[in-house]
Amino acid sequence: GESVGLHLPTLSVQEGDNSIINCAYSNSASDYFIWYKQESGKGPQFIIDIRSNMDKRQGQRVTVLLNKTVKHLSLQIAATQPGDSAVYFCAESRGYQKVTFGTGTKLQVIP
Amino acid sequence: DADVTQTPRNRITKTGKRIMLECSQTKGHDRMYWYRQDPGLGLQLIYYSFDVKDINKGEISDGYSVSRQAQAKFSLSLESAIPNQTALYFCATSDWTGGVSNTGELFFGEGSRLTVL
């Protein structure tokens, strides 16, 4: 069945270092992936997306990598800042239908 | 004003009571979703609707029902609330069509925290 899982529940990173958040998905038919950031007390916010015909996509300080061979997705945050502290979710979809979320990774930035 | 508004933001109720969570949006999106979030867990899809006449069950629809009263309004009901439905509920919208210039971004409300005693 469809499932999206994360390897690490909590990630602590020194301010200024790069962060890498990983995500595994099980549905090989998934063709669209999104990363969301959820700050305390708020709804999730879109960070970046990638379609299955791509391996890499870059945004402002963020990069998403997709490895379809091993069904793995990662979010890289460059020069991590205190404002990056949040819970990060990967989400997947197939055929522009419903969106399924993973369990989340909490990113803690150490000043 | 928020683009996606959920009411109530907090609600405490008792087992067996009927509860309705309301969601309204000003984004003009056709797609609307209800998700549930439990502590330390991700978001689980309860129901989703791609237009006023379209209602679909998600992963955990048992014990819930929805109504899409208009393009802008999507309500979630718990006919007889039970304690394990205590959670944070999110409504979200999307205008996703799958086009190259279109993303599947979901726009979330601030959440409705429900406690069932």
**A43 contacts in B (CB within 8 Å)?**
4, 90, 92, 108-111
Distances (CA, A) of A7 to A10, A12, A22, A45, A52: 9, 14, 6, 21, 21
Q: Which of B44, B59, B105 sits opposite A46 (nearest CB)?
A: B105
Contact present, B117 and B12 (Cβ < 8 Å): yes
Contact present, B35 and B50 (Cβ < 8 Å): no
Closest CA to B53 of B22, B32, B83, B23: B32
B 73-102 residues with CB below 8 A of A? 90, 92, 96-98
A49 touches chain B (CB under 8 A): yes
For B62, which DSSP code?
T
Task: Convert the pLDDT of each residue in A41-84 to its tens digit.
Answer: 899 999 999 999 999 999 999 999 999 999 999 999 999 999 99
Task: Convert the pLDDT of each residue in B28-84 to its tens digit.
Answer: 999 999 999 987 778 999 999 999 999 999 999 999 999 999 999 999 999 999 999
Which tokens go with A68? 């379809």
Contact present, A92 and A4 (Cβ < 8 Å): yes
**B103 contacts in A (CB within 8 Å)?**
34, 46, 49
User: Could you tell me how many helices (H) and strands (E) chain A has, helices first?
Assistant: 0, 11
Which tokens go with A25? 């998905």
Q: For chain B, give the percent of residues with pLDDT over 90.
A: 84
Q: Which of A45, A89, A98 sits opposite B42 (nearest CB)?
A: A89
**B58 contacts in A (CB within 8 Å)?**
98
| Listed range (B16-25, B39-48, B99-108) with the worst mean pLDDT | B99-108
